[in-house]
């Protein structure tokens, strides 16, 4: 193995092998396989194949250094009367190194992740007629299952939990009782303590710590250590050097496997957008495996590509998780495999059925009665409710609390597809608004971003479109209030969302000249200024509303003034920390969310200005296709918004007052009416 090349001793290896042979021979009958010149790794006979009864599944080695062993092992098995099963070419499976029978014959533990593929497991279940439980290896030091996992007599299990992913550890814990699980420490694991040979109460291994030997002794096992350091250099120890051919066969146990496979199709600029890499990495990182069945590369730079990929997962739950993420990337079933979405009724208002599909920001369709329906009111983190109306069957996104008895909800991931426009590198890098590439960088030239935003704002306004602003009180504190006021006055803003504070400090500034008690012109705290915001709250409460205070001449300028005078709707969502609050502030959270959703309907752009909670809330209810600009001095805020994955959103790490000032300057330069850019 890497790091040990040219460091092994042939003489010492022969000596250690002979000692192991004699130890095992004193407790069991041992047959030997004739070595073949040029194939030294045949000594690791565990990888010859997997034997159960009279049947053997021959190994398909991953690396060419061992592939030449296959015909020699096949010949040995056939000469000894076994029925030999051969896996499809290029489907790696490395025998009893990655497949270990429960010592009582109840099931087969099968590993995957490094040397063996998950797709081999259904073959094992079918040919050996046994239940197969799939375990994913995630630590490259333990590349075979038998390096970190050893079933013992009487239902005990010796294993290293750190070698497995969380799903596999849960599966182990479900099948093996706590008192039967012997989890070892890393120090024992790296000495391959799990790579052991168990013959009844005897455990033969390379080395074990005193504490491990004590634990094994307490449950009736005797440990026999025999040094195998030379073989550790080649990645194996006692178990790797042996193949058990007398595994117990239980007649009442029959083939089952939780492994699922599904073929999906991806289409778009798969290479230059990195979409195919993201999809394949997602499959592996989520615990599955893949096989690219077909890949049609676009002939021209502007052409799209298409790929058909077989996805395999160790269980339905894992498959559902993988497919739901692939759906987000635009993956669909092959036409011949399309099925109707699975639906379950709502039996309790405001509660979805278990396993409900969680909606995303992307336009979604569901298949009902053989037809694809476009989902209405698209938003993320909702359920898809199906209902019968006078106009036919309707599918719409609904948040959980709005689900009604009598509706049906889409569960699982069958019969669902998202519609995503093909995205190329050129599109992402173009000097149109597609600079929105979900990027976050404080190094980004703010002037360039501002130029793009100004150009888009002008285009939307002149076309009669809709822009919504989500703003926090930092807009006021940083001197951006006058610039946002001007945007509203000049028709660039068609909706304002925020909390109690943005309105309070805007009114404080325009009535008393301070923000949080700080003089906005001199930048110094005013004596008694900490009371100013409470005074303006009290004044507005006396009038009954912000609009009435404007009409009464108390509020003469500012953001809220311009909203009232220009009939720009606004929604203020309250919180437990709000002073007052203002009479316009909605303290009913559910009502505020509903009003937010109404305001953003039809929006083409949302400017999110230094308001983390309100911006994230708005982002969650905004579908893909809406251009989003999040401006905040805190990178964590803009990263959170960019994590939505929408290519139409961008995070700008900068002072929001500076951003608004530059935006106004750039708009002033656009003196001529909007003229469509020619590409």
Residue numbers annotated as active site: 144, 240
Query: In this structure, are residues 470 and 679 in contact, taking their beta carbons and an 8 Å threshold?
Result: no
CB 378 within 8 A of CB 398: no
| Buried/exposed 608-627: b ≥16 CB within 10 Å, e otherwise | bbbbbebbbbbbbbbbbebb
Cβ–Cβ < 8 Å for 437, 650 = yes
Query: How many whole angstroms separate alpha carbon 599 and alpha carbon 466?
Result: 10
CB 506 within 8 A of CB 476: yes
What secondary structure, in 3-state letters, does 610-625 show?
CCHHHHHHHHHCCCCC
Contact 568, 488 (CB under 8 A): yes
- Which residue is it, tokens 């290519």? 647
Q: Please name every residue paired with 262 in a beta bridge, in sequence order, or none if there are none.
A: 311
Tokens for 205, please give them. Answer: 């291994």
500 and 471 Cβ atoms separated by less than 8 Å: no
* Cβ pair 156, 111 in contact under 8 A: no
Do the beta carbons of residue 287 and residue 314 sit within 8 Å?
A: yes
Q: How far is CA 153 from CA 104, 150, 221, 244, 457, in A?
A: 7, 10, 9, 14, 72
DSSP 205-250: ES---HHHHHHHHHTT-EEEE---HHHHTTT--TGGG---------
CA 579 to chain CA centroid, Å, is 40
Q: And the tokens for 412? A: 């699982």
């Amino acid at each position: 193995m890497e790091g040990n090349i040219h460091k092994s001793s042939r003489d010492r290896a022969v000596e250690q092998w002979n000692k192991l042979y004699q130890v095992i021979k004193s407790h069991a009958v041992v047959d030997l396989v004739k070595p073949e010149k040029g194939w030294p790794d045949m000594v690791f006979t565990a990888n010859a194949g997997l034997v159960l009864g009279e049947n053997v599944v021959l190994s398909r080695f991953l690396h060419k250094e061992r592939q030449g062993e296959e015909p020699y092992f096949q010949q040995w098995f056939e000469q000894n009367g076994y029925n030999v099963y051969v896996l499809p070419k290029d489907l790696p499976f490395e025998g009893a190194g990655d497949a270990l029978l429960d010592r009582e014959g109840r099931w087969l533990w099968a590993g995957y992740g490094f040397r063996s593929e998950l797709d081999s497991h259904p073959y094992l279940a079918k040919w050996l007629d046994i239940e197969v439980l799939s375990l994913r290896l995630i630590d490259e030091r333990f590349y075979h299952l038998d390096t970190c996992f050893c079933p013992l007599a009487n239902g005990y299990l010796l294993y290293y939990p750190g070698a497995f992913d969380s799903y596999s550890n849960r599966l182990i814990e479900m099948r093996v009782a706590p008192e039967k699980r012997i989890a070892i420490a890393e120090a024992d694991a790296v000495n391959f303590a799990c790579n052991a040979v168990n013959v009844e109460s005897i455990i033969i291994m390379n080395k074990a710590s005193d504490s491990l030997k004590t634990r094994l002794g307490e449950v009736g096992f005797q440990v026999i250590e025999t040094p195998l350091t030379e073989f550790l250099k080649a990645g194996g120890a006692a178990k790797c050097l042996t193949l058990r051919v007398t595994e117990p066969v239980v007649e009442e146990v029959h083939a089952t496997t939780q492994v699922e496979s599904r073929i999906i199709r991806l289409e778009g600029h798969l290479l230059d957008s990195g979409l195919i890499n993201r999809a394949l990495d997602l499959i592996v990182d989520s615990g599955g495996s893949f096989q690219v069945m077909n890949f049609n590369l676009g002939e021209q730079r502007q052409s799209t590509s298409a790929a058909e990929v077989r996805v395999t997962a160790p269980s339905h739950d894992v498959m559902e998780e993988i497919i739901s993420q692939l759906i987000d990337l635009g993956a669909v079933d092959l036409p011949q495999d399309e099925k109707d979405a699975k639906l379950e009724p709502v039996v309790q208002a405001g509660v979805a059925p278990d396993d409900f599909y969680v909606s995303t920001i992307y336009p979604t369709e569901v298949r009902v009665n053989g037809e694809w329906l476009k989902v209405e009111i698209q938003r993320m983190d909702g359920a898809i409710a199906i209902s019968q109306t006078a106009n036919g069957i309707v599918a719409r996104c609904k948040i959980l609390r709005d689900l009604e008895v009598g509706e049906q909800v889409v569960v699982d991931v069958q019969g669902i597809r998202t519609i995503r426009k093909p995205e190329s590198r050129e599109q992402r890098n173009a000097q149109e608004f597609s600079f929105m590439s979900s990027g976050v960088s404080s190094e980004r030239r703010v002037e360039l971003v501002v130029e793009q935003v100004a150009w888009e704002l002008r285009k939307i306004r002149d076309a009669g479109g809709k822009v919504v602003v989500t703003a926090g009180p930092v807009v006021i504190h940083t001197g951006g209030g006058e610039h946002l006021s001007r945007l509203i006055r000049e028709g660039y803003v068609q909706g304002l969302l925020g909390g109690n504070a943005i309105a309070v400090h805007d009114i404080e500034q325009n009535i008393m000249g301070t923000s949080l008690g700080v003089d906005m012109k001199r930048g110094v705290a005013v004596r008694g200024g900490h009371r100013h915001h409470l005074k303006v709250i009290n004044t507005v409460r006396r009038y009954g509303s912000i609009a009435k205070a404007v009409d009464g001449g108390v509020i003469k300028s500012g953001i809220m003034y311009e909203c009232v005078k220009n009939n720009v709707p606004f929604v203020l969502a309250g919180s437990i920390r709000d002073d007052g609050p203002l009479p316009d502030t909605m303290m009913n959270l559910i009502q505020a969310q509903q009003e937010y959703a109404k305001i953003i309907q039809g929006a083409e752009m949302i400017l999110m200005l230094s308001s983390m909670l309100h911006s994230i809330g708005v982002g969650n209810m905004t579908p893909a296709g809406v251009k989003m600009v999040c401006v905040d001095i805190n990178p964590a805020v803009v990263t959170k918004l960019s994590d939505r994955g929408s290519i139409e959103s961008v995070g700008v790490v900068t002072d929001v007052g500076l951003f608004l000032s530059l935006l106004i300057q750039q708009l002033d330069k656009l003196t001529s009416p909007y003229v469509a850019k020619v590409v």
